[in-house]
Amino acid sequence: MPPKRNASRKVGAKKNRRKKNRPGRGGPLHSLLGEADRMPHSDLSRPLPQKQKLTPKTRGKQVFILESDDPLEKNVMQNSKMPDGYAFAPKGNVYITRNCRTKTKESGKMVYTVWDKAGRRNFGIRVPDPIHKEVLQMADATAESRAKAVESRDTKTMSRARALLCQEFPSMPDDDLESVLNHAFLKGSRRVGRTEMVTDKTKASLAVEAHIRHVHTSYDAILQNGTNRVNARKQVLPRVQAIKEAWETRSNKLLEQSLPVRPAPKERSKSPPISVRSSRSPSLESLASLESLVSLESSESLVEL
């Protein structure tokens, strides 16, 4: 009589369990037994190493902060203990952080640069409390003069940008010129007009191309229809290049096209020379017109009578 199927399954399962529990065959005991086989005979009396449980604080990669090259500056974590007599100067005000760092190093004390838990973002510095208070008073006293200096510097920067755009794109309309200046060259915008990674001509060219793409083409509508950015730029590239070339030159052929360009200045028509005649010797034409006017007035007076 053939054995039942259920019984054969149970026998096969038992054999598989035995194979898994053998050393070197895999299974739950393989890691522990394999570790014991690799240990020297003198260490067999020691307990086998247990797997460390990862808590929320230790889960993930271990964070390492690079040491500073400056002997008077040290990098610390955000959750580290504040040294006694120190205060925190947050990042953002360059005048305060720069003067705090300079005065602290001049006094021979340590500056602690504070980083986040991931070691990627810098939050500020820790400096002695008296130095921090002194710098804050200096910042309040010089706030007005520093604001005027910043305004003057920003005005010069925008003037240079305007001159650059007018030089590179002489046919660009005034409205487009103001739009490019207020968008691409806006302070704090982190756009191409404020970068220092490329030359001035490259900045102007990229800023104008971006403006043409968004204002004078259907680029935004193409993106809203689901087209990716690369293909959308390829579709509007011919018109962007045509408008850009028209703004770069004053050629009449380009001005005849239906492109948004600044109209070329009209040449003044040469007026005929004015003949200056003396009032003492009137011309024959003036005398004839005067006689006709007098005869007309006399006829009108006779009709009224």
Report yes or no: 132 and 89 within 8 Å, Cβ to Cβ. Answer: yes
209 contacts: CB under 8 Å, gap ≥ 6: 240, 244
The per-residue pLDDT for 3 is 53
**Does residue 52 fall inside a structural domain?**
no
Q: pLDDT in tens for each of the 305 residues of the chain?
A: 555 555 555 555 555 555 555 554 444 444 444 444 555 554 445 554 554 444 444 445 566 677 888 899 999 988 889 999 999 999 989 999 999 999 999 999 999 999 988 778 889 999 999 999 999 999 999 999 999 998 999 899 899 999 999 999 999 999 999 999 999 988 888 888 888 888 989 999 999 999 999 999 999 999 999 999 999 999 999 999 999 999 998 654 444 455 666 655 554 444 444 444 444 444 445 445 545 544 544 444 433 43
**Does residue 268 fall inside a structural domain?**
no
The per-residue pLDDT for 177 is 93
229 plus 155 within the same structural domain:
yes
The per-residue pLDDT for 15 is 55
128 plus 155 within the same structural domain:
no
Report CA Rg, the chain: 43
Number of independent structural domains in the chain = 3
87 plus 118 within the same structural domain:
yes
CA angle 154, 155, 156 (to 5 degrees): 90
The per-residue pLDDT for 279 is 42
130 plus 200 within the same structural domain:
no
Q: Exposure string (b/e) for 5-31, b if CB count within 10 Å is 16 or more? A: eeeeeeeeeeeeeeeeeeeeeebeeee
212 plus 251 within the same structural domain:
yes
Q: Which residues pair with 127 in a beta bridge?
A: 87
Q: Per the structure block, which two tokens stand in for 146?
A: 């520093």
The per-residue pLDDT for 289 is 52
**CATH classification at residue 103:** 3.30.70
For residue 15, what are the domain limits?
Answer: 5-43
The per-residue pLDDT for 28 is 47
Q: Where are the alpha helices (DSSP H) in 70-142?
A: 94-106, 129-141
Q: Report the predicted TM-score, pTM, of the whole model to 2 decimal places.
A: 0.51
209 plus 183 within the same structural domain:
yes
**Does residue 79 fall inside a structural domain?**
yes
The per-residue pLDDT for 186 is 86
DSSP category for residue 281: S
